[in-house]
Structure 1
Amino acid sequence: MTTDRPVRIGVQVQPQHALYPDIRDTVRALEDLGVDVVFNWDHFYPLSGEPEGLHYESWTMLAAIAEQTERVELGALVNCNSYRNADLQADMARTIDHISAKGGTGRFIFGTGSGWFEKDYNAYGYEFGTVGSRLDALAESLPRIEARWAQLNPAPTRDIPVLIGGGGERKTLRLVAKHADIWHSFADPETLKHKISVLKDWCEKEDRDFSEIELSNEQREKNLKLADELHATGVTLFTIGISGPDYPLEQVRDWVRWRDEING
């Protein structure tokens, strides 16, 4: 599968096990290194290491990253739809879009998903429900978010890109076909080929041009040979996760060099 899109590198700065100045310095270093996107995640507790360790909230940090940076795109990988009213999410996204614009076009990516980390729900008083009920809630929220963007004054500086994560074939990929500009997965190359075929079927049913959707992938092995295979399958946005307290950057440098070689 070929695509005209250039390869891009995203780095998820996991907001855990570090104090904010270390996170801020890491974001600055990543922009200096030339990465394309800086992500965080939308949780209230660490997902690895000490369960009650240092951790920060996603959206307030994204607003700070938008002000701090000049070039990189930014967003959550991914926002949890359950934690905030849909229209509020739209307004927050529009506001960060404007903060990031610096007199030009905004850089915010609205990455979203249905939620899964039960500890967050229980500790903060949200109803956990079921996988199906959370996906149904996301399906209800996305049209509201898009409608609110059309009503806000001032309007967003651009059509805010929507990133949806997940590979569920009955509901999630249909939402991708209807709403997403970027589809994010953790799939290996063979699984990805199958999922792409399912997504193409949904695009046909939803009268959506599949080529409009950028394919994004995160592989925890951080294997560049595997990245070559994923790129051949159509992936152009590759994400690397790094965690506190140290936020290692050497592998990020390797991926940036690989991107530059691919893009020529």
Structure 2
Amino acid sequence: MTIRIGVQIQPQHADYADIRRAVAEAEEIGVDIAFNWDHFFPLYGEADGKHFECWTMLGAWAEATSRIEIGALVTCNSYRNADLLADMARTVDHISNGRLILGIGAGWFERDYDEYGYDFGTAGTRLADLEQALARIEARWQKVNPAPTRDIPILIGGGGEKKTLRYTARHADIWHTFGDVEVLKRKSAILDEWCDTEGRPSSAVERSIGVDKAPDEVGEELVAAGANLFTVGLNGPGYDMGLVREWVAFRDSQKA
């Protein structure tokens, strides 16, 4: 698969004007995908610092950009009714003229659940809910009018070997993981096995990984391990694109 570069513009510790400038800069320098994340409070830094909601922001990004794909890395399945989420995704898909990726995961940040009144449950119940939601999302996309502009790509984030990776093999177009090259190799091999079980070619699921090192340190080995989507996480308010530019240059060098 073609190498692609993503940036996760973390919607914390910044004014929205800072975030909007960051997504515009990402598009200008040639990033392929701009992600945010789906939380209600900062994940690090000042715990009660500035923070914005995910999906209203994606609707704004759909209007503020024209080329890059957009999505959440990742949506927490627990926070929205699955059919509603499917309709939200379909709507942003239309606003963006077919540039939305539906990133989704089972959820994990307990403070979000507690303060917003969601049942945290257990890892097992959240994963079971995710599996049910994925089927409902796919079914709702078959019913809405107008239909999505394309088969909206589904990205699943997580590395659980018995459930998450099986759900990924069954439903996803992209699998996202964090970790080093050895984690990528091990989990990717398990995903291959689940793809075989589910009757899908392993090549149908793009491998995505978060990166915080320069491509001249880790790029070649990650590509050799099967990754082709590399996403740099950036914190507000500065959103320094220096490392992102290095990864864009790495992508372009591979085309030469």
Instruction: Specify the TM-score bucket, using the shorter chain as the normaliser.
Output: over 0.9
SS in 2 for 1:75: strand
Q: Percent same amino acid at aligned positions?
A: 59
Say if 1:222 and 1:240, in contact at 8 Å, map to a contact too.
Answer: no
Give 5+ residue unaligned stretches, structure 1: none
Distance 2:242 2:134 in 1: 37
Deviation of 1:61 after TM superposition, in Å, equals 0.1
TM-score by length of 2: 0.98
Q: Residue 39 of structure 1 aligns to a residue in which SS?
A: strand
Query: Are 2:19 and 1:23 equivalent residues in the alignment?
Result: yes
Using the TM superposition, give the Cα deviation of residue 135 of structure 1 relative to its aligned residue in structure 2, in angstroms: 0.4
Match of residue 124 from structure 1: 116
Match of 1:154 among 141, 146, 158: 146
Cα RMSD over matched residues? 0.9
2:255 aligned with 1:259 = no
SS in 2 for 1:140: helix
Instruction: Tell me, yes or no, if the aligned pair for 2:215 and 2:247 is still in contact at 8 Å.
Output: no
Distance, in Å, in 2 between the alignment partners of 1:227 and 1:238 is 9
Q: What does 1:168-247 align with in structure 2 at a 5 Å threshold? A: 168-222=160-214, 224-247=216-239
| 1:150–1:186 distance in 2 versus 1, CA, 3 Å | same
1:250 alignment partner in structure 2:
242
Question: What is the CA deviation profile of residues 166-212 of structure 1, one whole-angstrom value per residue up to 9, with x for unaligned ones?
Answer: 11100000000000000000132122222122111111111111111
**What secondary structure, in the 3-state scheme, does the structure 2 residue paired with 1:151 have?**
coil
Aligned partner of 1:74 among 70, 73, 94: 70
Asked if the contact 2:215/2:246 (under 8 Å) is kept, the reply is: no
Number of equivalences: 256
Q: Say which SS state the counterpart of residue 228 (structure 2) adopts.
A: strand
Aligned with residue 12 of structure 1, among 5, 8, 17:
8
Residue by residue over 1:201-241, the C-alpha shift from the partner in whole angstroms, topping out at 9 and shown as x without a partner, is: 11111111111110000033455421221111110100000
Where do 5+ consecutive residues of structure 2 fail to align?
A: none
Q: What amino acid sits opposite 1:43 in the alignment?
A: H
TM-score of the aligned structures, taking structure 1 as reference length = 0.95
